[in-house]
Amino acid sequence: MKIKQLDRYIFEIEKDGKIGMKVPGIIYADQSMLEDILNEGSANQVVNAATLPGIKKASIAMPDIHYGYGLPIGGVVATDVKEGVITPGGVGFDINCGVRLIKFDLGKDEIKTDLKDVAKHLYNNIPCGVGEGGNIKLKKKELKNVLKKGSYWAVEEGYGNENDLLNTESSGKLDEANPDIVSNKAYERGYDQLGTLGSGNHFLELGYVEEIFLEDIAKEWGLFKGQLTLLIHSGSRGLGHQICSDFLDVFEKALKKYQIDVPDKQLACAPVLSPEGQEYLAALSCAANFAWANRQILQSLAINTLADILKVKVKNLNPSLLYDVAHNIVKFEKFEIDGEEKLLAVHRKGATRSLPRGSELLPTHYKNTGQPVIIPGDMGRYSYILVGGDKAPVRSFNSACHGAGRVLSRHKAIKMAQNRNIATELKQEGIIVISRGKKTLKEEMPDAYKDVSKVVEIVDYLDIAKKVAKLKPLCVIKG
Instruction: Taking residues 149-159, report their average pLDDT.
Output: 97
pLDDT at res. 14: 95
What is the residue range of 84's domain? 3-478
What CATH number does residue 204 fall under? 3.90.1860.10
Note the Cα 336 to chain centre separation in Å.
25
Read off the pLDDT band of 428 (50, 70, 90): confident
Phi and psi at residue 13, to the nearest 5°: -90, 115
pLDDT confidence of residue 306: 96
> Any binding-site annotation on 379?
yes
Average pLDDT over residues 307-318: 94
Sequence-distant (6+) residues with CB within 8 A of 96 are 235, 236, 240, 287, 288, 290, 291, 292, 326, 327, 328, 329
pLDDT per residue as tens digits for the range 93-121? 999 999 999 999 999 999 999 999 999 99
Q: Does the annotation mark 66 as catalytic?
A: no
Q: Contact, 335 vs 355, CB < 8 A?
A: no
The number of distinct structural domains making up the chain is 1
The vertex-443 CA angle with 439 and 444, nearest 5°, equals 115
Q: What is the pTM of this model?
A: 0.95
* Nearest C-alpha neighbor of 257 from the set 280, 274, 278: 274
From 319, 174, 304, 278, select the one nearest 236 (Cα to Cα): 174
The whole-number pLDDT of residue 400 equals 98
447 belongs to an annotated ligand binding site: no
pLDDT bin (cut points 50, 70, 90) of residue 289 is very high
State the chain's mean pLDDT as an integer: 94
Share of the chain above pLDDT 90, in %: 84
For 184-243, the pLDDT digits (tens) are 999 999 999 999 998 878 999 999 999 999 999 999 999 999 999 999 999 999 999 999
Residue 406 pLDDT class (50, 70, 90 cuts): confident
Q: Annotation-wise, does 202 bind a ligand?
A: yes
Decide: helix, strand or coil at residue 437: coil
Separation between Cα atoms, residue 323 and residue 326, nearest integer Å? 10
Quick check: helix, strand or coil at residue 464? coil
- Cα Rg of the chain, angstroms: 21
Question: Is 404 annotated as belonging to a binding site?
Answer: yes
Q: Which of 66, 241, 347, 402 is catalytic?
A: 402
End-to-end distance of the chain based on CA atoms, in angstroms?
Answer: 40
Q: Is 167 marked as a binding-site residue?
A: no
